[in-house]
């Protein structure tokens, strides 16, 4: 992947994060230079979708987890509505579930929230010229697809609902009540999950969820991140080809990658296991 320092001007930028203080820091960074884009801010996915319809942004900075849903799902919607928009997804945690989800949803880049605001601004301007995923990130995405994504894609809609509730720490009885099913039907769905995810037991299923941080991500019910016919061909990263459209040039990421953030939240399954 060739390195380039080029950047494209952006005129309209949408900032999406539930923290007023974090958005204020980004706003200050975007307005610090000579090129000052028009900015719009949203604290939720619903608010962002409404603003995007009016603003028609060139670029967006989106938190991976929003109060009313997944920032990855919002990214997918923004890219579907305006294929040229450059979306940079930010995350507290350097987890593959977020990275792979952002890539498949059509994001131009993935950064950790601990990077300086000025670095986010530079990344957004570079993302307008082409995707920012590094070779290291693409390698992690390929590994995720082999270990997790391919298995999740085999799940039906009801099985994904059951998996979401198992990830939330629900018992079979609680799942049955939530989905208006009999406990025997839930047991059948759990059995299908064990078979399709290639785990030996419910304990193994919980370990699979924890190992891949599925309990921490609100985007889990969607199964395949981009859905059928999504913005990126599923074979692209597996074959090592350019993850974006053919006209996009490959770019090196400007982000610093590390281990999981200390501030990353603990999922309900992990909390339940530690408590028990």
- pLDDT for the residue numbered 10: 81
12-143+241-264 placed in CATH 3.40.720.10: no
Find out whether 32 and 118 touch, Cβ atoms under 8 Å.
yes
Report residue 166 as tokens: 């198992």
> Over its length of 276 residues, how does the chain's per-residue pLDDT go in tens digits?
333 445 667 889 999 999 999 999 999 999 997 888 999 999 999 999 999 999 899 999 999 999 988 899 999 999 998 888 999 999 999 999 899 989 989 999 999 999 999 999 999 999 988 888 999 999 999 998 888 888 888 899 899 999 989 988 899 999 999 999 999 999 999 999 999 999 999 999 999 998 888 876 655 444 333 332 334 544 455 444 444 432 233 233 223 222 333 334 444 443 333 333
86 Cβ contact partners less than 8 Å away, ≥ 6 residues apart: 10, 58, 59, 60, 108, 109, 124, 127, 128
pTM: 0.73
Distance CA 267, CA 271 (A): 6
Tens of pLDDT along 40-63? 999 999 999 999 999 899 999 999
Distance CA 76, CA 231 (A): 8
213 Cβ contact partners less than 8 Å away, ≥ 6 residues apart: 93, 95, 96, 97, 267
Domain residue limits, the chain: 12-143+241-264
What are the backbone angles phi and psi of residue 190, rounded to the nearest 5°?
Answer: -65, -40
Distance CA 272, CA 171 (A): 12
Report residue 20 as tokens: 């007023």
Tens of pLDDT along 80-96? 988 889 999 999 999 99
């Amino acid at each position: 992947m060739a390195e380039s320092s080029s950047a494209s001007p952006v005129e309209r930028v949408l900032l999406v994060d539930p923290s007023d203080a974090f958005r204020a820091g980004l706003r200050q960074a975007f307005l610090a230079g000579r090129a000052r884009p028009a900015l719009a801010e949203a604290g939720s996915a619903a608010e962002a979708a409404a603003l995007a319809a009016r603003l028609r942004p060139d670029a967006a900075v989106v938190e991976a987890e929003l109060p009313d849903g997944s920032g990855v799902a919002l990214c997918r919607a923004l890219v579907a509505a305006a294929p040229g928009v450059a979306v940079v997804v930010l995350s507290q945690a350097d987890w593959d579930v977020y990275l792979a989800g952002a890539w498949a949803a059509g994001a131009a880049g993935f950064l950790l929230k601990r990077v300086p605001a000025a670095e986010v601004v530079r990344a957004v301007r570079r993302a307008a010229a082409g995707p920012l995923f590094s070779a290291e990130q693409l390698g992690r995405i390929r590994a995720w697809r082999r270990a997790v994504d391919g298995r999740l894609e085999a799940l039906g809609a009801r099985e994904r609902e059951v998996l979401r509730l198992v990830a939330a720490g629900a018992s079979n009885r609680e799942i049955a009540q939530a989905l208006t099913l009999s406990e025997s039907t839930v047991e059948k769905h759990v059995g299908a999950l064990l078979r399709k995810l290639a785990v030996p037991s419910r304990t193994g299923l919980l370990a699979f969820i924890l190992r891949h941080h599925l309990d921490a991500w609100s985007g889990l019910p969607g199964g395949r991140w981009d859905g059928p016919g999504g913005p990126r061909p599923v074979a692209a990263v597996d074959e090592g080809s350019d993850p974006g459209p053919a006209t996009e040039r490959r770019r090196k990421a400007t982000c610093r990658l590390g281990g999981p953030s200390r501030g990353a939240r603990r999922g309900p399954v992990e909390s339940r296991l530690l408590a028990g």
